């Protein structure tokens, strides 16, 4: 397996508050990975580091054996291809939609890459049709629903045809149908051997979107394995605050054990 990301002993602080402590992991090219962790476990921070938006205070990250450092990202030669190949979709679409219209939003990336106008227009139209947002092309972001915003945000990164997709809580705030559409999309990326790294705390989608799972707790990796291995380890999940245990009722019986809430009720 050819590594695409190698993270070694990385530390990162937000104003003296440590977000990542000595985190290490390796992600292979074409793998689909889930980063599981509760809020505050460091998932979003890690994704930002992988996208070279911030740099660790200690430790190192490399992408295809190239170290990701401030100096490296200063050169257009490295930075532009990197930005095209690695795409990040934020949790909050409002942050990502900063252009006046949907068309402009999707066109932003290609234009920054320096593509020719004709090509930009063609690719943007194609992507908008793919994501089902072509009818929104002249709409302003404040007039979009949550699901539409998410689709525009996705369109704005896939228009560049990246090799790596970093997704931060992609199913947050989505209704069930949009969620399943998104999962379909992720699976199509998997089959076209893109590397997909998803940060989530929703256990029920993990099996669909990942071949490998890393569990994060308080800024470091506490477990790694296949989805089946991780999801069956109840104690681990409880400890990492990914499931809860409270009294609940099945029919006429009331008891308490670790479980997660999902659309389907769990069986005994």
Partner 1 sequence: MHIPDGYLSPSTCAALYAGAALGWYGGLQRIKRTLATRMIPLISVFAAFSFVLMMFNLPLPGGTTGHALGVTIASIVLGPAGSILAISIAIAIQALFFGDGGITTLGANCFNMAIVGSLVAYATYRIVAAGAEITSRRRLLAAGLAGYVATNAAAFLAAVEFGIQPMLFRDASGVPQYAPYALGVAIPAMMIGHLAIAGVAEGIIAAGLVAYLQAADPALLQSTSGLAPGATAACQPSMRHPQRRWWIAIALLAWGEWSASSFSSAEGRARIAAASQNRPAPPVAPTGLQRLSSLWTSPVPAYAPPVLKSTSFGYFLSGMFGVGLVIMLSLALQAYLQHRRGAGQPG
Partner 2 sequence: MSRNRAIAATLVSLTRALGRALISERVARQRGLLQALDPRVRVIGLFALVLAVILSDRISVIVALFCAAVVVALLSKVSLASLAARVWLPVLFFTGVIALPALVLTPGEPILAPTGGSFPVTAQGMSAALLLIARVETAVTLTTLLILCTPWMQVLQALRAFHVPQDVVVMLAMTHRYIFLLAETAGQMFESRQSRTVGVFDGATRRRMTARTAGVLLSKSVELSNEVFLSMQSRGFRGDVRVLSAFRMRSRDYIGLVAFLVAGGVAVWIGRS
Interaction site with partner 1 (CB under 8 A): 12-16, 48, 53-57, 98
Which partner in partner 1, partner 2, none is near 149 (CB below 5 to 8 A by kind)? none
Q: Tell me if residue 40 falls in helix, strand or coil.
A: coil
With CB under 8 A as the contact rule, which of the stretches 5-13, 134-142, 199-207, 237-245 interacts with partner 2? 134-142
Tell me whether residue 55 or residue 63 sits nearer to partner 1 (CB atom): 55
User: 82 with 160: CB under 8 angstroms?
Assistant: no
Tell me whether residue 5 or residue 212 sits nearer to partner 2 (CB atom): 5
- Does 148 bind partner 2 (CB under 8 A)? Our answer is no
Distance CA 252, CA 25 (A): 46
CA distances, 16 to each of 20, 57, 121, 130, 256 (Å) = 11, 11, 45, 44, 39
Site string for partner 2, 84-103 (x = CB under 8 A): x--xx-x-x-xxxxxxxx--
Give the footprint of partner 2 on this chain (CB under 8 A). Answer: 48, 51, 53-54, 76, 79-80, 83-84, 87-88, 90, 92, 94-101, 104, 107-109, 111-114, 117, 120-121, 138, 140-142, 156-157, 160
């Amino acid at each position: 397996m050819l590594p695409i990301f190698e993270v070694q002993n990385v530390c990162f602080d937000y104003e003296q508050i440590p977000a990542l402590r000595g985190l290490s992991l390796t992600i292979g090219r074409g793998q689909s990975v889930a980063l599981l962790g509760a809020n505050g476990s460091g998932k979003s921070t890690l994704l930002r580091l992988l996208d070279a938006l911030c740099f660790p205070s200690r430790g190192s990250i490399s992408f295809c054996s190239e170290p990701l450092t401030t100096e490296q990202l200063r050169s257009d030669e490295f930075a532009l291809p990197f930005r095209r190949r690695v795409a990040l979709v934020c949790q909050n679409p409002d942050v990502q939609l900063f252009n006046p219209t949907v068309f402009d939003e999707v066109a932003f990336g290609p234009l920054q890459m320096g593509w020719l106008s004709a090509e930009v227009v063609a690719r943007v139209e194609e992507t908008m049709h793919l994501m089902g947002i072509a009818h929104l092309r002249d709409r302003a972001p404040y007039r979009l629903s949550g699901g539409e915003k998410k689709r525009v945000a996705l369109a704005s990164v896939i228009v560049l045809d990246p090799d790596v997709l970093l997704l931060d809580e992609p199913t947050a705030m989505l209704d069930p149908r949009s969620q399943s559409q998104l999962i379909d999309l992720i699976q199509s990326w998997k089959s076209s051997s893109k590397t997909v790294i998803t940060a989530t705390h929703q256990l029920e989608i993990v099996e669909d979107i990942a071949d490998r799972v890393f569990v994060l707790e308080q800024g470091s990796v506490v477990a790694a394995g296949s989805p089946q291995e991780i999801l069956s380890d109840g104690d681990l999940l409880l400890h990492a605050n990914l499931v809860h245990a409270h009294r609940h009722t099945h029919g006429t019986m009331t008891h308490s054990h670790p479980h997660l809430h999902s659309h389907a009720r769990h069986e005994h």
